[in-house]
Amino acid sequence: MRRTIGRDLNAYYRLHAPIYDLTRPFFLFGRGRLIAELATRCQDPSRPPPRILEVGCGTGRNLASLRQAFPLSRLVGIDLSEAMLKRARRRLGCKAELIHGALGVVNPGAPFDIVIASYMLSMTGDEQARCIAAMRAVLAPGGCIGVVDFHSSPSGAFQNWMQRNHVRFDDGLPARLAVAPPGVAPEQASFATHAAYGGCWRYFTWVGH
pLDDT tens by residue, 70-100 = 999 999 999 999 999 999 999 999 999 999 9
Model confidence, pTM: 0.92
26/5 Cα distance (integer angstroms): 19
**Could you tell me if residue 143 is inside a domain?**
yes
**Could you tell me if residue 40 is inside a domain?**
yes
Q: Which residues pair with 116 in a beta bridge?
A: 54, 146
Residue 140: helix, strand or coil by DSSP?
strand
State the amino acid at position 45 in one-letter form. Answer: P
Domain of residue 92, residue span: 9-208
- Which residue blocks in the chain are alpha helix, DSSP H? 9-16, 20-23, 31-42, 61-69, 82-92, 128-137, 156-164, 173-177
CA dihedral (154, 30, 207, 57) in degrees, to 10, reads 110
**Could you tell me if residue 45 is inside a domain?**
yes
How many domains, the chain?
1
CATH of the domain at 74: 3.40.50.150
**Could you tell me if residue 2 is inside a domain?**
no
**Could you tell me if residue 94 is inside a domain?**
yes
Measured CA distances, 175 to 188, 189, 194 (Å): 12, 10, 16
**Which pLDDT tens digit goes with each residue over 164-195?**
999 999 999 999 998 866 666 556 689 999 99
**Which pLDDT tens digit goes with each residue over 17-74?**
888 898 898 999 999 999 999 999 998 888 999 999 999 999 999 999 999 999 999 9
**Could you tell me if residue 4 is inside a domain?**
no
**Could you tell me if residue 1 is inside a domain?**
no
